[in-house]
Amino acid sequence: MAYEIRETKDKDHWLRMRDEALRKHRAGDRLTLEETAIAIWNPDKESQPMTCMGILKIEKRALEKLKVALKNRKINGLDDLFESKFREYGRPVSAVYDR
């Protein structure tokens, strides 16, 4: 069940959505970006989860930029950093590729 964050004055609506997102997380299901924003929202400090959504979008863009930078250096993912083919006498990956 995907949620769409939209303007509303009804705090109970947000709390119900938050409870559902937390229940889904406890059940081991993956959450969408919107559900994650609602799940980490602190209703005591914010009236709506909009701030959480903005932070998550910024973090998502930063992660995408990191993945592109790694791919440009022929590193397919973060797991490749720990494989032996990317290690040379304990030097960092950047030293192995002379960059």
pTM (2 decimals)? Answer: 0.47
5 assigned to some structural domain: no
6: pLDDT strictly greater than 60:
no
Is 89 strand, coil or helix?
A: coil
63 assigned to some structural domain: yes
One-character DSSP codes across 60-87: HHHHHHHHHHHHHTT--SGGGGGSGGG-
- pLDDT at residue 61, rounded to an integer: 85
pLDDT band at 1 (very low <50, low <70, confident <90, very high): very low
Which amino acid, residue 1?
M
3 assigned to some structural domain: no
Domain count, the chain: 1
Range of the domain at 56: 11-96
1 assigned to some structural domain: no
66 assigned to some structural domain: yes
58 assigned to some structural domain: yes
